[in-house]
Structure 1
Amino acid sequence: MTEAVDIQAMMDRVVAGLTGPGAPFEQTVEPVLGTPIPVLAHRHRNLRELFDVSLTWGDRDYLVTEDRRISFAEHAVAAGALATALARRYDVGKGDRIGIYAANTPEWVIAFWAAQCLGAVAVGYNAWWTPREIAYGLEHTTPTVVIADAKRAARLADSGTGVPVLTMEQDLPALIAEYVGDIPRAEIAEDDPAVVLYTSGTTGRPKGVVHSHRNLVAVSDYHRFTDALMASFTGQPLDGPSDRRYLVTLPLFHIASLHNLVVPRLATGAAAVFPHGAFDVDRVLRLIEQERVTNWAAVPTMASRLLEHDLSGYDLSSLNALSLNSAPSSPGLQDRLRDKLSGVQVALTTSYGQTESGTAATVATPLELAADLECVGRPIIGVTVEIRDPFGAALPDGEEGEICIRSPYVMLGYWNDDAATAATIDAERWLRTGDFGTIVDGRLRISGRRTDLILRGGENVYPTEVEYALEEHPAVHESVVLGVEHPDLGQEVAAVIVADPGTVTADELRAFAAERLAYFKVPARWRITAEPLPRNASGKVVRRDVEP
């Protein structure tokens, strides 16, 4: 215990040296949307300025796949040319939305940065959405143009949209070749919107989370800070590019990959490495070996699949950091990973955050996990976490309540939904997470996620959205959707259907749901009954009394 305390004290001294007056990460307090918030005194004011920084990295790898390698310089040329093409051909300007509907590719990233050069808003649509779901997204954010891979372009055609669609395979290369030249520059304020990413909504429709230029620059500065912190401990210089190589196995329409892996690399000069296709353990491990990957941010489902694989045939010696994100990870899973990766110098970390929080609100380092395996760590630089009672009053250490977060990373709000924004962010810019936990000795423990939320393999599934879709079937009187434990996914989706005997089968309902919902939302388990669902005095279904 003495050693742990000494290491923590040493870390506190290093942090103080990096964040004090005159230091590279000096902190100050400034008004952010009318509320005093701790921010870095020396920072870029928008993503276009961060884009300029990337030019200094030149021929260093930025985007790497199994068969492609794009340098920072090449990326800047492509993004600038695409931005020029979008402005001249499609009249895209500041504040216009540019939809991106695709699997992970370098073109996804290039499209994102083209939007930032124009002061436009990139909208990352969920690549697993069905035509019905993408039609909702298009209506919701009204993009001027959509950039899609061929598979999703076909899906867009099925949705009946009249929005111009540019394919990544054919249209983008032609436009980039035609418009190579100067890189556009728009006047952009810190709190202008930069990106919209969707999160499933409790009211049955996905909500568009809006992050500002301030949010994404601050996230990038957080990653610069963690690099500097490590450099201080190892005696490395604080300036210059990073030699880390980050594996990107989560979709770019999530903050884990876009905000926390791809965007910060422009500030640090490190590479982002993308495997092709769906997650495959062998393919990922071969790529780690081939590209000497150093850092991997995975969801617990990926980690559990890794545990089932024989690692003896792979050289994983470059891998020195594995973080578990997007869903809670059990102490048992963490222990099994340490045993499995015992021959690799991996620093295992876990974290807590939401799409709305922009990045992790807390991170549990190996030091923190050694002290408390069930914690999700301490607040990161710039974040304040409070545990509050139902009336909004802060609770003392050890008492359970709602987790509330305030930081320069927290979203602007929900796109075109003032009521949902007001219900989630209060007048002092505190984010009400809807999750519950406790703080003990400065460490956060999660005691419960949102009551109804299902966490399936790192994807959020809200039962209301699924229930609304199921209840469109003429044979369904009512339904309830629940999360049930699953050894690989953490949870899977189960549905209890109330219908007249013999009027519908599980196979029919599964096909019906698949036409309306992304695959991960379609229930895997079904129970069809003629018995009404249990309800309370106010008429609400009592989910805890429903047997899946």
Structure 2
Amino acid sequence: MTNAVDPQEFVAKVAAGLTAPGAPFEMTVEPVVGVPIPVFAKRYASLRELLEHSLRWGERDYLVTEDRRISFAEHAAAAGALATALAARYGIGKGDRVGILAANGPDWVIAFWAAQCLGAIPVGYNAWWAPREIAYGLEHATPTVVIADAKRAALLAETATELPILTMDEDLPALITEFGGGEIPSTPVAEDDPAVILYTSGTSGRPKGVVHSQRNMVAISDYHRFTDAMLAAFMGQEPGDAPSDRRYLVTAPLFHIASLHNLVIPRLRTGAAVVFPHGGFEVGRVLSLVESEKVTNWAAVPTMASRLLDHDVDQHDLSSLSALSLNSAPSSPALLAALRAKMPTLQFALTTSYGLTESGTAATVATPLDLAADDASVGRAIIGVAMEIRDAAGNAVGDGEEGEICIRSPYVMLGYWNDDAATKASIDDQRWLRSGDFGTLNQGRLTVSGRRTDLILRGGENVYPTEIENVLVEHPAVLDCAVFGMSHPDLGQEVAAIVVAEPGTVDPEELRAFVAERLAYFKVPVRWRITSDMLPRNATGKVIRRELAI
């Protein structure tokens, strides 16, 4: 007779062995922005050191597209040449911002690492922004130069900016050729120096620049190495320094943490490849790329995964795909069940997670083991993350009680760029991040019960009503308005708007065009109601959104 082993106890035992004193992932406590926080003891101190580490992977694939293949050695040389050019020709140095405005691709990644070589701060602008939003981003982060693809260079021209614009199709290849062949620059930085700025929508109606530090980014890479070591241990293998043969599909934008922080950057540490599809998401083309490039791991938003359900997946050889993680938006138990039924090979390969831009990486991950126990949860806190559920007074509540999800870890952002008030509202003096989301903890598993107030989750993109309302009220015919989300079978939610106007003064098509000129396409309402009736408001004058309908 054999004794049954509790799977969760086994996981905990393996993790304890990997993080014990002297072990590869030994944990210690050190000050992080002045607050004692558990961190990995054996770590690099900067992203530039990760780039140096990547040279050992030589001619192995790093960046792969349908028509380009760039090795780790080629990537490092290109990043070094571009860094030399940026310093020599544009005076870029430590702390300067380098804007990146482009669709996914190798040149985006090369630009990011070139900035790291100089101690500069890359700013990943949203590639779907309209010119007005781009102009705000330029004013807010004040980059010295902007690196853009052809499509976004044209949009930059509409902003009338006087900043130097370096195009990816012409300027970058010329600069890399001209300044290539030398040493890769290296500028000393501190662990808590800013390493990148990414934008997230803000409830105030303007995007906020989330600043992640060198420490944040390196720690996230080590977290991914730790999960690799855990998987190896489950298979009876010892953790080692050999390069990984995994190949990661990148379908989320590089201006999101899901792709940049958690897919592209950690591969310099592990020697694995990242694969970029061309153009917008088209399921048949993406699956063909999975087949041809033998993709093993795919991190998708639920909207993308749901499109597998309507596609004949049997026409593709997907035998290489061993892991599918659903990120950026909640995944319903029904979607998980449908995916398992559609693709039986994913039965024990599906994971979900919970996190936000400010948390740097997933705060929790639901493994197949967690989902088997509770497919409505988003799993347990990852290594290095402390999590509390707090009431309105900021006190931790008990198991099963609902409250605000609060997170502390070495992955949590430094703060918001040039916005001390917003930073103080989000992070307390003990470095606890208030997520603005609500949920419960049950036996260590998190269930999210409510998203940020009024937030619309459209196909993995965060859309805040205030930003759209602020644009709508600029129209001379609009007396009042309210924007909210409505259920959509594919996108999760779609954007709807109720506009108060005098009869006959405006129609939905005019308003749609008005918003489209000023905001990214995914923020433009697709459902409209124009009325002369006033909106329902509470005693403090706020719109009662739960009473809105179209």
1:360 pairs, out of 359, 362, 368, with 362
Q: 2:282 aligns with which of 275, 280, 283?
A: 280
Q: Trace 1:39-78 onto structure 2 (pairs within 5 A).
A: 39-78=39-78
1:147 aligns with 147
Taking a change above 3 Å as real, the CA distance of residues 420 and 3 of structure 1, as seen in their structure-2 partners, is farther
Equivalent position amino acid for 2:308 in 1: L
User: Hey, what does 1:267 align to over in structure 2?
Assistant: 269
- Residues in 1 aligned to 2:354 and 2:404: alpha-carbon distance in whole angstroms: 14
The answer to whether the 8 Å contact 2:111/2:147 transfers is: yes
Q: How does 1:44-443 map to 2 (within 5 A)?
A: 44-180=44-180, 181-239=182-240, 240-343=242-345, 347-443=349-445
Distance in 2 of aligned mates of 1:345 and 1:373: 13
- Offset, 1:237: 4.1
What is the match of residue 519 of structure 1?
A: 521
Q: For 2:535 and 2:234, how far apart are their aligned partners in 1?
A: 58
RMSD: 1.1
Q: Could you tell me whether the CA contact under 8 Å between 2:348 and 2:368 is conserved in 1?
A: no
Identity of aligned residues (%): 74
Amino acid of the structure 2 residue aligned with 1:459? E
- Distance, in Å, in 2 between the alignment partners of 1:364 and 1:261 is 18
Q: For 1:345 and 1:506, locate their aligned partners in 2 and report how far apart those are by CA, in whole Å.
A: 45
Unaligned runs of at least 5 residues, structure 2: none
After TM superposition, give the deviation of residue 404 of structure 1 in Å.
0.1
1:367-391 CA-partner distances (Å, limit 9, x unpaired): 0000011110000000000000011
SS in 2 for 1:476: coil
Q: By how many angstroms is 1:236 displaced? A: 3.2
Q: CA deviation at 1:235?
A: 2.7
Alpha-carbon distance, 1:140 to partner: 0.1
Task: Say if 1:249 and 1:368 are closer, same or farther in 2 by CA, change over 3 A.
Answer: same
Question: Using the alignment, how far apart are the partners of 2:377 and 2:56 within structure 1?
Answer: 39
**Alignment deviations for residues 386-407 of structure 1 (CA, whole Å, 9 cap, x no partner):** 0000111111111000000000
Q: Partners of 2:549 and 2:311 in 1: how far apart? A: 34
Which stretch shows the higher mean deviation, 218-227 or 334-343? 334-343
Q: What SS class does the counterpart of residue 209 from structure 2 fall into?
A: strand
Provide the rounded CA distance (Å) in 2 between the counterparts of 1:56 and 1:293.
Answer: 22
TM-score between both structures, scaled by the size of structure 2: 0.98
Letter in 2 for 1:262: V
Deviation at 1:62, TM superposition (A): 0.3
What SS class does the counterpart of residue 312 from structure 1 fall into? helix
Contact 2:365 2:378 in 1 (8 A): yes
Structure 1 residue matching 2:316: 3-state secondary structure = coil
Aligned residue identity for 2:341: D
Matched, 1:538 2:545: no
Q: CA deviation at 1:10?
A: 1.4
Asked if the contact 2:205–2:467 (Cα under 8 Å) also holds between the matched residues in 1, the reply is yes
Matched residue type, 1:408: P
Deviations 1:406-426 (A, max 9, x none): 000000000000000000000
* Alpha-carbon distance between aligned partners in 2 of 1:210 and 1:175, rounded to the nearest angstrom: 28
Aligned partners of 1:291, 1:126: CA distance in 2, in Å? 28
Name the CA distance, whole Å, in 2 between partners of 1:47 and 1:465. Answer: 34
Partner of residue 479 from structure 2, selected from 468, 477, 480: 477
Contact 1:46 1:189 in 2 (8 A): yes
- SS of the aligned residue for 2:307 comes to helix
Distance, in Å, in 2 between the alignment partners of 1:237 and 1:414 is: 40
Q: CA deviation at 1:344?
A: 5.3
SS at 2:25 equivalent: coil
CA distance in structure 1 between the aligned counterparts of 2:178 and 2:314, rounded to whole angstroms: 48
The residue identity in structure 2 corresponding to 1:188 is V
Letter in 1 for 2:379: G
Q: Tell me how far apart the structure 2 counterparts of residues 281 and 36 of structure 1 sit (CA, whole Å).
A: 46
Q: Which position in structure 2 is the counterpart of 1:465? A: 467
Counterparts of 1:4 and 1:68 in 2: how far apart (Å)?
Answer: 50
CA contact (8 A) 1:46 1:190 kept: yes
Residues 334-375 of structure 1: per-residue CA shift (max 9 Å, x gap): 000011111456510000000000000000000000001111
How far is 1:282 from its partner?
A: 0.5
**After superposition, what is the alpha-carbon deviation per residue over 1:208-242, rounded to whole angstroms, capped at 9, x for unaligned?**
00000000000000000011111111133422111
Equivalent position of 1:446 in the other structure: 448
Pair 4,279 (structure 1): closer, same or farther in 2 beyond 3 Å: farther
CA–CA distance in 2 between the matches of 1:4 and 1:154? 63
Q: Is the contact made by 2:38 and 2:409 (CA closer than 8 Å) also made in structure 1?
A: yes
Q: Does the 8 Å CA contact 1:299/1:325 hold for their aligned counterparts?
A: yes
Which amino acid in the other structure matches residue 320 of structure 2?
A: S
**How much has 1:283 moved relative to structure 2?**
0.6
Report if the CA contact (8 A) 1:288-1:316 is conserved.
yes
Structure 2 contact 385–407 (Cα < 8 Å) conserved = yes
* Alpha-carbon distance in 1 for matches of 2:485, 2:540: 23
- Letter matched to residue 453 of structure 2: T
In structure 2, give the amino acid aligned to 1:218: A
Matched pairs, number:
547
| Equivalent position amino acid for 2:257 in 1 | I
Tell me the TM-score normalized by structure 1. 0.99
After TM superposition, give the deviation of residue 547 of structure 1 in Å. Answer: 1.7
